[in-house]
Structure 1
Amino acid sequence: MQLSVVILNYNVRYFLELCVLSVQSALENIDGEIVVVDNNSSDDSCAMMQKRFPEIKLIRNKDNLGFPKGNNIGVAQAKGKYICILNPDTVVAEDTFTKVLAFAESQKKLGIVGVKLVDGGGNFLPESKRGIPTPFVAFTKMMGLYKIRPKFELFGKYYAQHLSDDKSGKVDILVGAFMLMERRLYQDLGGFDENCFMYSDDIDLSYRVLKEGKSNYYFHETTVIHYKGESTIKDGIYMKRFQEAMNFFYKKHFKVSAIFSMVMKIGIGFFSFIKMFRGQPKSKKEPQSFILYSSNTELAKKMTSVLQKKVSFHDLNTEKMVISCLISDKTPIEILLDNHFVSFKECIDFMESFKNRGLSFKILPKSTAFLIGSDNSNERGTVVKIE
């Protein structure tokens, strides 16, 4: 078997369903499998998997064992030459794995491959590629120096700003939302360090891969949506775990003075507080107009009834997927993409093409009765049932 996709889920039932549907489409021409590990979700994630995807391997943990252990359990059941650690709040394109596997096969001393990640609004997520967060690099991040002088090499290391978003190349650290590597390498390293509950596990694994003489790569030729934050509420518990995670990484890999440790502790506390604040939902304008891209003429009427606002219909049998001059209108517009007729790749490309235009996007996954999406990376996503 060529590829095993391991998805660790915790209370994101609808995003999980969307993710699995996209992965199934991407594995159609690949000898692969999907392994879903559930960390004792209290929603109906497992019931949905058993009903909707009975053929997929589902591992049900009796407790929330954290990100590292949950993924290690999944990989232990995997059979592929390669494994892909994938977040449940992601959407892959139909050609994502074909492209990434071809790239992986062409590399010598391959470590981990990551991809271009965007949020639910089509905006690039800078954590797609990162540098080693040494104490100094982490300091430049916490103080926002990378924003002040983004092209200054000394300040641009945290987000590997030496490498353009649209250029593939070697990087030090990749994010756990999408990590593809050989299963043997993962096993040789012992997988994710289970002493870390979450948040620095991907940094630690990436760093250990580098220490083995392997190379990690950022691959820009495919884009994956990462709705980001769906599995985590950024509250006081988040702050505590984030601090613990960063302390874990520094104690494991770096020797620093007591004074510097104190400074870093204060900095980490400040940084995690800012992350918690940014994670709170922000007030936003509700869409006043909806545009549905589909070929189902009856769906627009149903959407109008559910959303209680008029839904303009674009018939994809006769029209191209374009947006008219409505973009220049200040009225908030939401684009509804019917996955029965719009592929996952087209959804992703569409969102990237029209990012920062005052639009929001939702996908109607094929064979489902809900709309799903997220306007940006600082808020939890939205699910609208259309039954």
Structure 2
Amino acid sequence: MQLSVIILNYNVRYFLELCVLSVESALKNIDSEIIVIDNNSSDDSCEMMRNRFPNIKLIQNDQNIGFPKGNNIGVAQAKGEYICILNPDTVVAEDTFEKVLAFAKKQSNLGIIGVKLIDGTGNFLPESKRGVPTPWVAFTKITSLYKIFSRSVFLNKYYAQHLTENQTGKVDILVGAFMFLERELYNEVGGFDEDCFMYSDDIDLSYRVLQKGKSNYYFHETTVIHYKGESTVKDGTYMKRFQEAMEYFYRKHFQASFLFSAFMKIGIVFFSLIKRIQGREKIKSMPKNYLLLSSSAVLAKIIAFVVQKKVDFLDWKTEKEVNLSLISIGKGTQIILDNEFVSFKECINIHENYRNKGIIFRIIPKKTNFIIGSDSSDDRGEVVKMK
């Protein structure tokens, strides 16, 4: 078997369904398997998996055992030569795994491969590629020196700014939302460190792979949507775990003076507070207009009834080649992508091509009755049921 895709879920039932649908489409031509591990979700994630995807392996834990242990359990049952650790709040393109596999097979000393990640608004996520957060690199992040001197080799390592978002190359650290590597290597380094509940586990795994003399890569030739933060509420528990995780990583890999440790503790608390503030719910403005890309005019009427507003309709089957930039799409428009007719790759491309234009994106996964998406990488996403 070539590939095992490992998806650890916790209380994101609708994002999980969207994710698994996209992964299934991307694995059609690959000898592969999908393994979903559920960390004792209180929603109907497991029921949905059994009903919608009865042939996919589902592992149900009786408690939330954390990101590292949950993924390790999944990998232990994997059969693929390669594995991909994938977040449940992601959407992959139909050719994502084919492209990554082809790239992986060309490398002679492969570590981990990460891909270009964007959020639900189409914006690039800089954590797609990072440097080792050594004391100095962490300092440049805390003081925002990496922004001020983005071209300085000495100061721009936190987000691996020696590469642009559209350049493939070697990087040190990759994000746990998408980590592709040989199963043998994963087992050789011991998988994720189960002493770290979450948040620094991907940094730690990436770093241990580097210590094995392997090369980690950022691969820009495929894009994956990562809605972010769907499994985590930014509350006091989040702050505590984030701080503990970063402190654990520094204790494990770096020797530091008392002054440095104190400085880093202040920095970790500062970032925890910022993340908590970013995670607070914001007042969302309603879309001004709606545009459905589909081939079902009936669906446009159903959505119009749900949102109580006129929904413009573009027949994707007959007008697929239409350049959307030629259509007047005003700021505040919500573009709804019907996955029955608009492929996952097309959905991702539309997110990227129309980012930063004040446009909101939503997807209707094929054979579902809900609309899903996110307006910010800091907020929880939105699910609207049509029935």
Which interval holds the TM-score relative to the shorter structure? over 0.9
Partner letter of residue 351 of structure 1?
Answer: H
* Aligned counterpart, 2:328: 326
Shift of 1:193: 0.3
Alpha-carbon distance in structure 2 between the residues aligned to 1:41 and 1:316:
37
Q: Mapping of 1:135-284 within 5 angstroms?
A: 135-284=135-284
Gap runs ≥5 in structure 1: none
Alpha-carbon distance in structure 2 between the residues aligned to 1:163 and 1:111:
18
Q: Is the 8 A contact 1:288 1:309 kept in 2?
A: no
CA RMSD of aligned residues (A): 0.9
Shift of 1:78: 0.4
Partner letter of residue 92 of structure 1?
Answer: V
Alpha-carbon distance in structure 2 between the residues aligned to 1:250 and 1:273:
20
Q: Is the 8 A contact 1:363 1:371 kept in 2?
A: yes
Shift of 1:323: 4.5
* Aligned counterpart, 1:134: 134
Alpha-carbon distance in structure 2 between the residues aligned to 1:267 and 1:80:
40
Q: Is the 8 A contact 2:93 2:345 kept in 1?
A: yes
Note if 1:72 corresponds to 2:72: yes
* Aligned counterpart, 1:123: 123
**Would you identify which runs of 4 or more consecutive aligned residues in structure 1 move more than 4 Å?**
none
Q: Is the 8 A contact 1:12 1:89 kept in 2?
A: yes
Shift of 1:308: 0.7
Give the TM-score normalised by structure 1.
0.98
Q: Is the 8 A contact 1:173 1:216 kept in 2?
A: yes
Shift of 1:155: 2.0
Shift of 1:280: 1.6
Match of 1:102, SS state, is helix
Give the TM-score normalised by structure 2.
0.98
Alpha-carbon distance in structure 1 between the residues aligned to 2:271 and 2:153:
22
Select between 236-245 and 18-27 the one with higher mean Cα deviation: 236-245
Shift of 1:325: 4.8
Select between 286-295 and 273-282 the one with higher mean Cα deviation: 273-282
Shift of 1:285: 2.2
Shift of 1:319: 1.2
Match of 1:317, SS state, is helix
Select between 201-210 and 278-287 the one with higher mean Cα deviation: 278-287
Shift of 1:86: 0.1
Partner letter of residue 98 of structure 1?
Answer: E
Q: Is the 8 A contact 2:317 2:341 kept in 1?
A: no
Alpha-carbon displacement from aligned partner over 1:247-281 (angstroms, at most 9, x marks no partner):
01000000000111011111111111111111222
Match of 2:127, SS state, is helix
Select between 291-300 and 281-290 the one with higher mean Cα deviation: 281-290
* Aligned counterpart, 1:346: 346
Q: Mapping of 1:291-306 within 5 angstroms?
A: 291-306=291-306
* Aligned counterpart, 2:106: 106
Alpha-carbon distance in structure 2 between the residues aligned to 1:107 and 1:150:
29
Alpha-carbon displacement from aligned partner over 1:135-154 (angstroms, at most 9, x marks no partner):
11112112222122222222
Alpha-carbon distance in structure 1 between the residues aligned to 2:64 and 2:207:
25
Match of 1:298, SS state, is helix
Match of 2:35, SS state, is strand
Q: Mapping of 1:86-101 within 5 angstroms?
A: 86-101=86-101
Q: Is the 8 A contact 1:91 1:344 kept in 2?
A: yes
Percent pairwise identity: 69
Alpha-carbon displacement from aligned partner over 1:333-359 (angstroms, at most 9, x marks no partner):
100000000000000001100000000
Partner letter of residue 32 of structure 2?
Answer: G
* Aligned counterpart, 2:288: 288
Partner letter of residue 30 of structure 2?
Answer: I
Alpha-carbon distance in structure 2 between the residues aligned to 1:98 and 1:325:
33
Gap runs ≥5 in structure 2: none
Note if 1:18 corresponds to 2:18: yes
Alpha-carbon displacement from aligned partner over 1:159-203 (angstroms, at most 9, x marks no partner):
000111100000000000000000000011110000000000000
Q: Is the 8 A contact 2:22 2:92 kept in 1?
A: yes
Shift of 1:324: 4.3
Partner letter of residue 169 of structure 2?
Answer: G
Alpha-carbon distance in structure 2 between the residues aligned to 1:304 and 1:284:
19
Select between 346-355 and 267-276 the one with higher mean Cα deviation: 267-276
Match of 1:97, SS state, is helix
Q: Mapping of 1:30-45 within 5 angstroms?
A: 30-45=30-45
Alpha-carbon distance in structure 2 between the residues aligned to 1:317 and 1:164:
35
Shift of 1:128: 0.1
Q: Mapping of 1:344-383 within 5 angstroms?
A: 344-383=344-383
Alpha-carbon distance in structure 1 between the residues aligned to 2:274 and 2:137:
18
Alpha-carbon displacement from aligned partner over 1:15-60 (angstroms, at most 9, x marks no partner):
0000000000000000000000000000000000000001000000
Shift of 1:318: 2.1
Partner letter of residue 154 of structure 2?
Answer: L
